[in-house]
């Protein structure tokens, strides 16, 4: 009868996974890795903005955008015409005109910035995140949205921003 062979060290290693690779250890490793990562608390679902209010605001934004665009174009045309109509004999009038032009530029700058804010608000409507503060992500009050339809900050965050600028 043949004698049984002794197990060699190489033969003693079975195709089984080593202790470190056991399913229990793998799951412990995953759980440990997951516990090490900071977990964000689940965000409460956003309550949807009233569809009628959203539609009214969108209509108001589009109307205001059209008005501002018309104003800016009209002011640009007026400025071009005024610049073309000057003669050297009108040098005394140029000082007053320069002041008027500076005022027109400032108004156009303000209107252009408002147009940018309106465009951003229309993009937020399209993206589905209109009516929420861009800082704290809380809903902006309907009263604030009616008063300032392109508002992107709630009152509390806007106050904080203004105080930081002072």
Q: Along the 166 residues of the chain, how does pLDDT read in single tens digits?
A: 555 555 554 444 444 444 445 555 554 555 444 555 666 655 555 677 889 999 999 999 999 999 998 888 887 777 777 666 655 555 555 555 566 778 888 888 999 999 999 999 999 999 999 999 999 999 999 999 999 999 999 999 999 999 999 8
Question: What pLDDT score does 78 carry?
Answer: 75
Question: What pLDDT score does 113 carry?
Answer: 93
- For the chain, the three-class secondary structure string (H helix, E strand, C coil) is CCCCCCCCHHHHCCCCCCHHHCHHHHHHHHHHHHHHCCCCCCCCCCCCCCHHHHHHHHHHHHHHHHHHHHHHHHHHHHHHHHHHCCCHHHHHHHHHHHHHHHHHHHHHHHHHHHHHHHHHHHHHHHHCCCCECCCCCCECCHHHHHHCCCCCCCHHHHHHHHHHHC
Question: What pLDDT score does 105 carry?
Answer: 85
Question: What pLDDT score does 50 carry?
Answer: 87
Tokens of residue 112, six digits:
């252009």
What are the extents of the domains in the chain?
A: 51-165
CB 126 within 8 A of CB 106: no
Question: What pLDDT score does 87 carry?
Answer: 55
pTM of the shown model: 0.61
Tokens of residue 96, six digits:
């007053």
**Taking the domain 51-165, which CATH number applies?**
1.20.120.910
């Amino acid at each position: 009868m043949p004698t049984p062979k002794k197990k060699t060290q190489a033969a003693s290693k079975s195709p089984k996974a080593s202790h470190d690779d056991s399913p229990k250890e793998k799951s412990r490793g995953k759980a440990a890795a997951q516990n090490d990562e900071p977990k964000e608390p689940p965000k409460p679902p956003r309550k949807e903005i009233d569809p009628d209010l959203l539609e009214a605001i969108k209509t108001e934004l589009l109307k205001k955008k059209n008005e501002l665009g018309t104003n800016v174009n009209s002011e640009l045309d007026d400025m071009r015409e005024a610049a073309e109509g000057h003669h050297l004999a009108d040098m005394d009038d140029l000082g007053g005109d320069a002041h008027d032009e500076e005022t027109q530029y400032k108004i156009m700058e303000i209107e252009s910035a408002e147009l940018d804010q309106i465009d951003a608000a229309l993009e937020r409507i399209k993206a589905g995140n209109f009516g929420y503060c861009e800082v704290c992500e809380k809903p902006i009050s309907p009263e604030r949205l009616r008063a300032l339809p392109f508002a992107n900050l709630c009152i509390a965050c806007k106050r904080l921003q203004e105080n930081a600028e002072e």
